[in-house]
Amino acid sequence: MLALIPACLIKQCQDLTYLAKSLSLDSVGFGYLQTTFGVLQLVGGPIFGRFADQFGTRAALILSCASGSAFFLLMSISTSIPLLFLSRLPAVFMHGLPGAQKVITDLTNPSQRADALGKLGLCFGIGIIIGSALGGVLSTKFSLRVSCFLPLTYINTVLINVSSSVGSSQSGSVFSIREILRLMKFPGVMEVFIVKVFAGLPAGLFLIMFSIISMDFFGLEAVESGYLMSYFGVLQMVVQGLVIGKLTKSCTERTLLRLSVFVFAGVGLGMALMRTVWHYCIIAVPLVFAFSMLGTITDSILTKAVPSSDTGTMLGICASVQPLIRTVGPTIGGLLYKQFGVSSFGYLQLVVNIGLSVYLLKNKIPLREVKRGCKARV
């Protein structure tokens, strides 16, 4: 089920570019369209998580799949720019990954949670490869609107097969901002969340601008960019499926958190010095490792730091990090690229993560779970 979610999202990213072009939407309008999507996902993440805590995971997954169905249906029939903007609205509740993560947190022991969450990333890597391949083939063999309509079939298949309920209903308002902010006051939550947001922010800005950088800086064609995306998918499958699980069994979460930030700093140095696409292919290995490790470990730490009845809301807050970057990314990333070039992303990545490394070394962030096996002590 989880592999279908990123496959559909990657496909819609590919289809959206050509659909917007066919409707004569200029680059500024396309930026507004992407920002609208990011804002809706940013706002909807915590609300979706709160909904999962209140009404159970099954209801939340049904809501996500139904929203996805409406999203792709509207996209497939978009014959005008206003209708294309309207198709973004259901994205507010399209949060299949936090829903699946909620299932994992409910069904696993805290000591096994990081490993289990890492395995979800394996499915995401599979989805990236499937989505990248399908996006090009279907758009070429069939019409663009048929290509947009197919994910609707995928998601409806998932919707039919969601048959087991995990979680129970609770009292309280789904839209309670006070309840959402309350979770940030638990020991260690705010500190870990700050690291989660800022450690990968510069690299996230780079990835948002990558479609432009790949053409201007690396000189890649569309087909070559697709191959590079598939390469990322394979890397993520290997890292999430083989590497993270073994590390979480032998090292403490504090050690792995520090390791991911340290690797991010090294990635920043590499990005600042890279000149060719082959350099980037080498840098992509530690980049994918750092992103995967940071996401898995911080999600595990944060869900353990709050009561089990609030894990859905916390996962929803975590899921809002990427939409936040997508919302502010085009503006900040475009400014950095235009004024200072590609190397600016690397230097910013290096400086930010050196600062975070010092912060993590000097501050003892309280973590609920303790694992032993590495030399570093918690």
* pLDDT attached to residue 293: 92
| Alpha carbon 123 to its chain's center | 13
Among the listed residues 77, 42, 331, the one whose alpha carbon sits nearest the alpha carbon of residue 180: 42
H/E stretch holding 168: none
Angstrom distance (rounded) from CA 126 to CA 285: 17
Looking at residue 267, its pLDDT comes to: 95
Tell me the two tokens of residue 295: 């996401």
Q: Residue ranges of the domains in the chain?
A: 4-160+180-362
Query: What's the CA gap between 361 and 355, in Å, rounded?
Result: 10
In terms of C-beta density within 10 A (0-12 exposed, 13-18 middle, 19 or more buried), how is residue 23 classed?
Answer: middle
Assess contact for 91 and 40: CB atoms under 8 A.
yes
Q: Identify the CATH homologous superfamily for domain 4-160+180-362.
A: MFS general substrate transporter like domains (1.20.1250.20)
DSSP 185-220: GSTTHHHHHHHHHHHTHHHHHHHHTHHHHHHHTS--
Q: SS3 of 42, please?
A: helix
Helix (H, G, I), strand (E, B) or coil at 327: helix
Give just the sign of the alpha carbon dihedral 254, 257, 263, 264: negative
Please say if the pLDDT value at position 261 is more than 90.
Answer: yes
What would the mean pLDDT of 246-255 be, rounded to a whole number?
87
Q: For the segment 49-62, what is each residue's pLDDT rounded down to a tens digit?
A: 888 888 888 888 88
d(CA 80, CA 83): 5
Q: What is the pTM of this model?
A: 0.77
- Say if residue 111's pLDDT is above 80: no
C-alpha–C-alpha distance, residues 14 and 132, integer Å: 8
Least confident window among 22-36, 179-193, 337-351: 22-36
Q: What is the pLDDT of residue 137?
A: 58
Which tens digits make up the pLDDT trace of 273-298? 999 999 999 999 999 999 989 988 99
CA distances from 65 to 105, 135, 162, 241, 252 (A): 20, 20, 9, 25, 35
Q: What does the alpha-carbon distance between residue 171 and residue 312 come to, in Å, rounded to a whole number?
A: 15
Q: Select the more confidently predicted residue: 65 or 348.
A: 348
pLDDT at residue 45 is higher than 70: yes
Give, in degrees to the nearest 5, the angle at Cα 357 between 356 and 358. Answer: 90
